[in-house]
Amino acid sequence: MTTAALPGLLAVSGLQGCGNSDHQSTGESATDSTGSAAGRSESSGRKLGIALVGLGKYSEGQLAPALEETNLCKLAGIVTGSPEKAEKWKKKYDIPAKNAYNYQTFDQIADNPDIDIIYVVLPNSLHAEYVIRAAKAGKHVICEKPLATSAADAQKMIDACKKAGVKFSVGYRLHFEPYNREIMRLGQQKVYGPVKKIYAQNGQKEGYDTPWRLDKKLAGGGPLPDVGVYCIQGAIYTKGEVPIAVSAKYHPKTDLKKFKEVEEGMDFQLHFADGAIAECRTSYNDEYNLLRGETDQGWFELSPAYAYEGQKGQTKEGKLDFEKVNQQARQMDAFADCVLNNKETTVPGEMGLRDVQLLEAIYRAADTGQKVSTKDVIQNAFDPVAAKATAS
């Protein structure tokens, strides 16, 4: 890292030990593995400053409100092409003019000590450019899913962050959500035995309100990279393994105008080494939201599984009941904790790359009708705490 990016923090909290992964030495309580901040008070040190790049629906509706609930970081800057939005956000969130950038002035953020972390929340194909520019500016980076529209781009993003010595995470919020963490535990710890079958379905009725989602160049695809990526995630963190092969079939198009460039929906299968199969389904023309694991002795499921809130779950033993959390607040606090205490994120850029590699394999399978091997897909990008996860 770039301790240079954190002069205020070093001065206030004496965190010279950013190279020290033992948080006891900082005298601060850190976040636990789910990102729930265990109680750093603001007076114990400056909160890390996050700048949001792209002030669209997700930034406005989820991330900015979540940053009002975080303990280790706060909204400190914005990057937008719209002067009107900049004015509105500066007022609403008390952001000084010097912390508001547009896409042309963005690189000057390198000189701004208020900004420690840049969060890229742009249409998918723009992720690569802005992550690379953020890394070059010496800032730690979070990037929204899907990480990129090609594995080649995702690799360039990872390389740029490595070269700059900054931390890099993909915005997989569900790794910080108690119901999904319980599914990781039940599946990966084989609580009811090895998982043999997984059902992962995520679909929504897509309108025209974010037209870039229907534009192949900007989105990289249709529902598969947008919401289907959660099925890939869910299946892998339920099984605790990367599949060895994938197969896939496009849904027939019922709206040729809307889905001129991207698929309307798809069924795909992830095949695991022990014969287990994840049956996955994604769509922009139907609503579903399910993650279910089945073993010889039992089952568990979430529905909805992937929503921002309101997860519901049950197992063969009864209903699951966990606390309601703000997933995005936990996700961003967990990343801030990694920066503050030089820890590895549980959702690294490599995990995003792995999933982009799988997305590419799934498209190849759907295009050819063949089962496609995933032997070249990254194997070791895992949430390392998942196997120990408790749902607290």
Nearest-approach distance from CB 341 to ligand NAD, in angstroms: 24
Q: How far is CA 280 from the centre of its chain?
A: 19
Minimum distance of ligand NAD from residue 231's CB (angstroms): 14
Q: Which stretch binds ligand NAD (CB under 6 A): 15-23, 54-62, 285-293, 353-361?
A: 54-62
Pair 35, 171: CB distance under 8 Å: no
Is 212 among the residues that bind ligand NAD (CB under 6 A)?
Answer: yes
Residue 145 falls in the annotated catalytic set? yes
Kindly state whether residue 298 participates in binding ligand NAD, applying the rule CB under 6 A.
Answer: no
User: Does residue 150 bind ligand NAD (CB under 6 A)?
Assistant: no
Distances in Å between the Cα of 19 and the Cα atoms of 16, 42, 56 are 7, 22, 35
In whole angstroms, how close is the CB of 37 to ligand NAD at the nearest point? 20
Tell me how crowded residue 24 is: count the other CB atoms within 10 A of its CB. 11
Residue 187 in the binding site for ligand NAD (CB under 6 A) = no
Q: How far is the CB of 54 from ligand NAD (least distance, A)?
A: 4
Supply the DSSP symbol for 114.
T
Is 288 an annotated catalytic residue? no
Give me the sign of the Cα torsion angle 367, 283, 149, 268: negative
Active-site annotation holder among 145, 172, 284, 363: 145
The residue within the footprint of ligand NAD, chosen from 31, 34, 70, 124 (CB under 6 A), is: 124
39 sits in the region (left: phi over 0; alpha: psi -120 to 50; else beta) called: left
Does residue 239 touch ligand NAD according to CB under 6 A? no
Q: Say if strands 313-315 and 299-302 run parallel, antiparallel, or are unpaired.
A: antiparallel
Determine phi and psi for 77, rounding to 5 degrees. -155, 165
How many residues belong to the site for ligand NAD (CB under 6 A)?
20
- Looking at the DSSP bridge assignments, the partners of residue 74 are 49
Query: Which residues of this chain interact with ligand NAD, rule CB under 6 A?
Result: 54-59, 81, 121-124, 126, 144-145, 171, 173, 210, 212, 218, 226
Q: Which residues are catalytic?
A: 145, 230
